[in-house]
Amino acid sequence: MNAIKKYAGLIWIILGPLGIHYLLQTASSEIAKKPGIDTQIQWGVFITVFYPIAIGFILFGLYALEGNYDHLPESSAELDDYEAKPL
């Protein structure tokens, strides 16, 4: 199971940039089709909101690939141990 968790991380790492690319491409084509302020705000909000989420998704994939999800902490003490190691 831990091997699946690790290698699936690669998929999440790839999906992040793919998502951003699809979002930017759709946004530019939709704004070109309907160049009103409403369309620009709408897509501006989508990009502002989903861009950091996509980065979070890449980070999630990276953590998975590093094996950080092989064991999930079962008490705060385990988290406290980690707190000595900031990002």
Partner 1 sequence: MEEKNETKGIWKVIGASSLGTLIEWYDFYIFGSLAVVIANQFFPKTNPTAALLSTLATFAAGFIVRPFGALVFGRLGDLVGRKYTFLLTLVLMGGSTFAIGCIPSYESIGFLAPILVLILRLIQGLALGGEYGGAATYVAEHSPAHRRGFFTSWIQTTATLGLFISLGVILLTRHMLDADPVKSIEKFNDWGWRIPFLISIILVIVSIYIRLKMKESPMYTRLKSAGKTSVNPLKESFGHKANLKMVLLALFGATMGQGVVWYTGQFYAQSFIENVCKVEFDQSRTILIWAILFATPFFVVFASLSDKIGRKWIMMIGMLLAVVSYNYLFKNLYSIADDKTKTEITEKKDVKTMLTPIANTGDSIRKVVTKFFYAEGMTMIHTKTDTAYATAGKATIKPLVAVSKTLSGNDYWKMVGIVCILILYVTMVYGPIAAFLVELFPTKIRYTSMSLPYHIGNGVFGGLTPFIATLLTTIYTDNIIVGLMYPIIIASICMVIGAIYISNKIDPEVND
DSSP state for residue 70 in the 8-state scheme:
S
Distance, CA of 75 to chain centre: 26
Task: Kindly state whether residue 3 participates in binding partner 1, applying the rule CB under 8 A.
Answer: no
**Integer angstrom CA distances of residue 36 from 5, 58, 81:** 44, 32, 52
Q: Which of 20, 54, 57, 65 binds partner 1 (CB under 8 A)?
A: 57
Residues found near partner 1 in the complex (CB under 8 A): 1, 4-5, 8, 12, 15, 30, 37-38, 41-42, 45-46, 48-50, 53, 56-57, 59-60, 63-64, 68-69, 72-79, 81-83, 85-87
